Chain A
Amino acid sequence: MQQLDNQEILMKLKSQKQFWDIKKKVKQGFSDQQKIGINDIQKFAQSCEIEDQLIKLISHILKKSKKRETLKEDQIEFLNTSKIKWTELLFKNLDIVHQKAKNQEEDDTNTDSKLYIYDEKNLLAFLQTFKQQQPSVLYQNVQFQSNKLLNINIPLKSSQQILDKYQYILLQEELPEEKINKIRKSIENEHLDIELEKIAQTYVPNGERCLLYLKYFEFDHQETVLQQNFAKLQKECQNQLFIDELLEIDGHEISEDTFYFVFQEQILTCLKCFIRDKSIKENIRIQLQNGMKKEHAEFQLPVAGFFPFKNISKYVAPLCYLSTKIHIIYALFKEFFCRYFCFLHAISSEYNSILSLCMQIEEIVSTRSPKLFHHLKVIGCDTLKLIIHQLIYCFVGDMDPPHILTIYDQILGHDSLEILVILCVGFLNKYKPKLLLAKNYENVQQIFQELREDKFQELVQFAYKQ
C-alpha cells in the first residue's frame, strides 16, 4: 500500500478546493491581527469546526491514496479450489454454448435460446455442492442444520447487526422541498466521499444522482478522459468476438422490459466495451474466475477477466436513466460492477459475496420466519431458490427504476450489498401469507407471475415485520 509523507499530503490538500476555502476562512478570522500563534489558530479552528473539516479532508486524501488490491486469494483455501473448479465448469459451458451456437447457425429450426455461460441457478447449485463435499475445516464449530441450503463456516455478521444498520430507513419520511433543496446544494458543493455516502444513505434527488455518483467515483472533472477511453473501446468492438453474440442474446430479455427496452442499443454497446476493457482486471475488487490457460486462444477468459453471465444487461439498464451520454453510463456501470456487483458472482467468504449474502438471508428467515422457512422446504421450494434471481440482479426487472436507483444509492452509501439481504427478507415476508398456502413449486411460480409492484420502502418495512 502506498504511504504518503506529510509533504505529499500537503500537495494533495492544495489540490482540493475545500483546503483553500478553509484557508480563506482562517485568514478572515485573523484579518486584523498582526501576530498569530499556532495555539490561536488551533483555538479558532476548533471553535468554528474547521478542525473537523480538515481532519475529514486529510482522511479522504489518505483513503484515496490507498490503492485497493483485487482480492484474488480467499482466506479459506477450499474456496480458492472451488473457484478453480467453477472456472473449469464455465469453460466447459462455453464449449457447449459454442457448439449450440454453431448448430443454430447450421439449422435455422433449432432455436434453443439458452445461449449463456451460466445463470443465477447454476451459481446457486454450485454453491450448494460445498455442503456435499464437507471438508472438515468448513464445518468446524458449525451446528449442522440440514434444513439450510448453505451452511458452512465462513465469517458472518450477526443478523441483528445488519437489521440494526438499516433500521433508520423505516423512519424516513417524505422530505419537504426546503430540505431537498438543501441536499441538492450539498451534492453540488460536497467532494468528500464520506459526506456523499451520508447523502446517499438518506435521500438522493433524481436530478442530482448522476452528479453524486460521478463525484463519488471522482469522475466529475474527467469527462474528456472518459470519452476518449470509451471511444477507444468502441473502436475495438469492430472486431467481433463470440462473446458478443452471447451479449446480443442477453440483450433480448432487456429489450422486452417496459422500462428498459428504449436503452437496448446503449446497453449492448456498454457491455461489448466492458468485456474488452483491460483496466477491469486492475480495478475490480474481487477476482471472479481463476483464469486458466487453454490450447485455443479464443477460449481464454475475456480481456476483462471473467465470463459474462446471463442477465448481465440488467446491471447496466438502470444506469441508462442517469445520462444521455453513453461514456458516462459506461463509466458508472464499470465502477458499480468493479466495486459491488462483482461480489455477487465471486466464490468468496467476503461479507459482500454471494455466499455470505445467501447465508445471511437463510439465517434471518429461518430464525424470524421459521414457519415460512420450513413450509417452503417441505413443498420443495428452498428460500434461496425463490429469491436468488432478485438477489443476484438487485431486483432489476422486479421493481420500477426509481426503486432500483434507490437500491443503488444504498449500495454506494454503505459501500455494501447488505441492503439486498434486507430487501430479500422483506420480499419473502410480503408474500408470506400466499406462500404459506402454496402446495407445490407450481403454486409458488403462479404467485410471482401475477402482476405485482414491489417497492423499496415497502420491502424494507416488511423485512422488519415478524
Chain B
Amino acid sequence: MQNKKLKWKSDFEKSVIIENFVNRGWIKSQEKEEESTDWNVYWATVWNVRNIFNPKNGFRLNDQQIINHFPNHYELTRKDFMVKNLKRFKREQDKEVLETFNFDFLPTTYIFPGEYSLFVEEFHRNPNQTWIVKPAARSQGKGIFLLRKIQQLKKISGTTVTSNMTQLNLASKENYVVSRYIDNPLLIGGKKFDLRMYVLVTNYKPLKVWIYNKGFGRFCNEQYTTDVAEIENMFVHLTNVAIQQYSDKYSQKHGGKYSIDALKLYVESAYGTDALQRMMDDIHNIMLTSLKSVQAVIQNDKHCFEMYGYDILLDSNLKPWLIEINASPSLTTTTPVDKNLKMNLINDVYNIVLPNDDFPDNEQKCNYLFIQCIEQQPTKVGGFTLLYDESLDPNNRKTQKRQSVKIWK
C-alpha cells in the first residue's frame, strides 16, 4: 500500500527530491549525522555512497533500504572509465561471431596521460582536426577547452608542451580525456545544442533499463561557428547550463532548454519520420551498449538503482554521439517547465523502484508467483518506458534488443 511511513534521507537540498518524499507521506530521518543509518530511502551523493559500500566501515544495508547509486557507478560515469570500458567491450564483441552492438557513437578518444603518444600520432595525421579536452572526473564544463595546437596542453601540464614530446606529465593527479571535436553539430536557429536524457537502471544482472520520455536540448546562446577566433568562446561551443547561464543572452524563462518532444517534432517534420526513427534507434543503441559495456564490471546490488543523465550530441546528419554519462544529473530547476519535468521524473523513479512503497525483495519472496510477476511487470510507468529487460529472454541477446526496441516503439 502506498503512503507507508518510510524514512528518507537526502544529501541534496533539492525541492524536487524533498517535495516528492513529503508528498508520499514519508518521514525525514531525524538522525543528523552524515553516517546515520536510520533511513529506508536515501538520495545520496556519490561520495557518501562510496563510504557506505566501503567494507572498512562494516556497514551493510538491510532489506528495507534503497539507495540511488551502484557502488562502483564511476565505471560508467567517469569519462576515462567510460571510454576504457567501451573500448574493452568493443574488443570483446569483435571476437564474437554475432555482431549485436554498434559502437560507432564514441568519437575517437584518448585518455591522458597514458595514451598521450597515441594521441600525438593521430594529431599529426589530422592537423586540421579540433579536439576537446576534458578532466575525467569533473562536471559542469569545468576545465574543458578546445585544442588546435599541441602547445595548448600547457594548460594541463603546467609546462611547455612541444609536438615532438612522447610523454605528458600532468600538473594535477587527475586524468583527462581528449576526444575528436564534433565540429558539424546539428544546429537549430544556427545554435549548437546537446541532449540530456534520463535512463533508470534498476538492475545490472540481469540488466533492466528504463528510458524517460521527457528530456531536453541544452542550447548555446551564441551562433555556432568553426571560426578559429571563436574557439575559446565557451558560449558558442559548450552547452552546459552552468556555463551558458553567464551569457548576456541567457533567458531565465526557458534557460536555454528545449524539450525533447519539441525536438522530435522538428526532426520528424523537417527530416521525415524515418529519419526520426533512425535517430531514436541510434540513441537507444548508445544507451544499451554503454550499459552492457559495464554489466560485468558493476557491482550489482539489490539495494541500488541509478538514474543516469545521458549527454548526447547530434551531428548535422542526425547521427547521435555519446558525450558523457552523469551519475548525479542536476536536479536544480531553472524554469517552471523544468521543475515539472524533474518532479515527475523523481516521482516516476520511485514508482518503479518502490512500487506501492514495497521493497523489491517483497515481490520476489513468493516463488510460486515469480513467473507471474515477471509476466505482469509493466513496460510503462509514468514517463518511463522499459527499454531493455534481459530477464525476458536471457539466452538471446539479439531477440532482447529487438524486443526492447519494439517495446519502446
Instruction: Answer whether A265 and B253 are a contact pair too, CB < 8 Å, given A207-B268, A323-B270, A402-B265.
Output: no
Could you say which of B115-123, B133-141, B188-196 contacts chain A? B188-196
Could you tell me if A262 and B336 are in contact, using CB atoms closer than 8 angstroms? no
Query: In B253-270, which residues have CB < 8 Å from any A CB?
Result: 253-254, 257-259, 261-262, 265-266, 268-270
Instruction: Answer whether A259 and B268 are a contact pair too, CB < 8 Å, given A207-B276, A265-B189.
Output: no
Q: Does B273 contact A (CB under 8 A)?
A: yes
Return the CB mask of A260-295 against B: 1 if under 8 Å, else 0: 011111100000000000000000000000000000
Chain A residues with Cβ below 8 Å from B268 are 206-207
Least CB distance, B189 to chain A, in whole angstroms: 4
Could you tell me if A262 and B270 are in contact, using CB atoms closer than 8 angstroms? no
Could you tell me if B258 and A210 are in contact, using CB atoms closer than 8 angstroms? no
New A-B contacts (7) at CB < 8 Å, excluding given A256-B251, A257-B253, A262-B188: A184-B273, A206-B268, A207-B269, A259-B262, A262-B191, A262-B258, A265-B223
Could you tell me if B269 and A258 are in contact, using CB atoms closer than 8 angstroms? no
Could you tell me if A206 and B253 are in contact, using CB atoms closer than 8 angstroms? no
Q: Does B272 contact A (CB under 8 A)?
A: yes
Query: Nearest residue in A to B268 (C-beta to C-beta)?
Result: A206
Return the CB mask of B172-191 against A: 1 if under 8 Å, else 0: 00000000000000001111
Q: In the bound complex, how far is the Cα of B206 from the Cα of A82, in angstroms?
A: 75
Chain B residues with Cβ below 8 Å from A324 are 270-271
Write the residues of chain A forming the contact surface with B, with a CB cutoff of 8 angstroms.
184, 205-207, 209-210, 255-259, 261-266, 321-324, 400-402, 405, 451
Q: Does B219 contact A (CB under 8 A)?
A: yes
Q: Could you name 27 residue pairs across A and B whose Cβ atoms are closer than 8 Å?
A: A206-B268, A207-B269, A207-B272, A207-B273, A207-B274, A209-B269, A210-B270, A256-B253, A257-B253, A258-B254, A258-B258, A259-B258, A259-B259, A261-B254, A261-B258, A262-B188, A262-B219, A262-B258, A263-B188, A263-B189, A265-B223, A266-B189, A321-B270, A322-B269, A322-B270, A405-B269, A451-B340
Instruction: Answer whether A261 and B272 are a contact pair too, CB < 8 Å, given A321-B265, A321-B266, A451-B336.
Output: no
Chain B residues with Cβ below 8 Å from A263 are 188-189
Q: In the bound complex, how far is the Cα of B336 from the Cα of A323, in angstroms?
A: 29
Q: Does B337 contact A (CB under 8 A)?
A: yes
Chain A residues with Cβ below 8 Å from B262 are 258-259, 321, 400-401
Contact of B265 among A206, A256, A258, A266 (CB under 8 A): A206
Return the CB mask of B327-363 against A: 1 if under 8 Å, else 0: 0000000011100100000000000000000000000
Is chain A's binding surface mostly helix, strand, loop or mixed?
A: helix
Chain B residues with Cβ below 8 Å from A262 are 188-189, 191, 193, 219, 258
Least CB distance, A152 to chain B, in whole angstroms: 40
Q: In the bound complex, how far is the Cα of B262 from the Cα of A400, in angstroms?
A: 9
Q: In the bound complex, how far is the Cα of B259 from the Cα of A209, in angstroms?
A: 21
Could you tell me if B189 and A256 are in contact, using CB atoms closer than 8 angstroms? no
Query: Nearest residue in B to A401 (C-beta to C-beta)?
Result: B265
Query: Nearest residue in A to B264 (C-beta to C-beta)?
Result: A206
Could you tell me if A321 and B269 are in contact, using CB atoms closer than 8 angstroms? yes
Chain A residues with Cβ below 8 Å from B271 are 324
Instruction: Answer whether A257 and B254 are a contact pair too, CB < 8 Å, given A210-B269, A322-B269.
Output: yes
Least CB distance, B115 to chain A, in whole angstroms: 37
Could you tell me if A206 and B188 are in contact, using CB atoms closer than 8 angstroms? no
Chain B residues with Cβ below 8 Å from A451 are 336, 340
Q: In the bound complex, how far is the Cα of B335 from the Cα of A261, in angstroms?
A: 14
Least CB distance, A456 to chain B, in whole angstroms: 14
Least CB distance, A313 to chain B, in whole angstroms: 13
Least CB distance, B186 to chain A, in whole angstroms: 9
Query: Nearest residue in A to B409 (C-beta to C-beta)?
Result: A177
Contact of A258 among B189, B190, B335 (CB under 8 A): B335
Chain B residues with Cβ below 8 Å from A402 are 265
Q: In the bound complex, how far is the Cα of B191 from the Cα of A210, in angstroms?
A: 23
Q: In the bound complex, how far is the Cα of B336 from the Cα of A205, in angstroms?
A: 30
Least CB distance, A267 to chain B, in whole angstroms: 9
Could you tell me if B273 and A205 are in contact, using CB atoms closer than 8 angstroms? yes
Query: Nearest residue in B to A266 (C-beta to C-beta)?
Result: B189
Closest 9 A/B residue pairs (Cβ): A207-B273, A256-B253, A206-B268, A262-B189, A258-B254, A262-B188, A207-B272, A321-B269, A324-B270
Q: In the bound complex, how far is the Cα of B336 from the Cα of A263, in angstroms?
A: 21
Least CB distance, A58 to chain B, in whole angstroms: 33
Q: In the bound complex, how far is the Cα of B279 from the Cα of A207, in angstroms?
A: 14
Q: In the bound complex, how far is the Cα of B269 from the Cα of A324, in angstroms?
A: 9
Q: In the bound complex, how far is the Cα of B223 from the Cα of A263, in angstroms?
A: 12
Chain B residues with Cβ below 8 Å from A206 are 265, 268-269, 273
Query: In B124-174, which residues have CB < 8 Å from any A CB?
Result: none
Least CB distance, B304 to chain A, in whole angstroms: 34
Query: Nearest residue in A to B186 (C-beta to C-beta)?
Result: A324
Chain B residues with Cβ below 8 Å from A401 are 262, 265
Could you tell me if A256 and B254 are in contact, using CB atoms closer than 8 angstroms? yes
Least CB distance, B74 to chain A, in whole angstroms: 34
Q: In the bound complex, how far is the Cα of B335 from the Cα of A451, in angstroms?
A: 12
Chain A residues with Cβ below 8 Å from B336 are 451
Could you tell me if B190 and A265 are in contact, using CB atoms closer than 8 angstroms? yes
Query: Nearest residue in B to A402 (C-beta to C-beta)?
Result: B265
Chain B residues with Cβ below 8 Å from A205 are 273
Q: In the bound complex, how far is the Cα of B271 from the Cα of A324, in angstroms?
A: 8
Chain A residues with Cβ below 8 Å from B269 are 206-207, 209-210, 321-323, 405
Query: Nearest residue in A to B337 (C-beta to C-beta)?
Result: A258
Chain B residues with Cβ below 8 Å from A210 are 269-270
Q: In the bound complex, how far is the Cα of B190 from the Cα of A401, in angstroms?
A: 20
Q: In the bound complex, how far is the Cα of B250 from the Cα of A255, in angstroms?
A: 11
Which of A207, A263, A264, A402 is packed against the most chain B CB atoms within 10 Å? A207
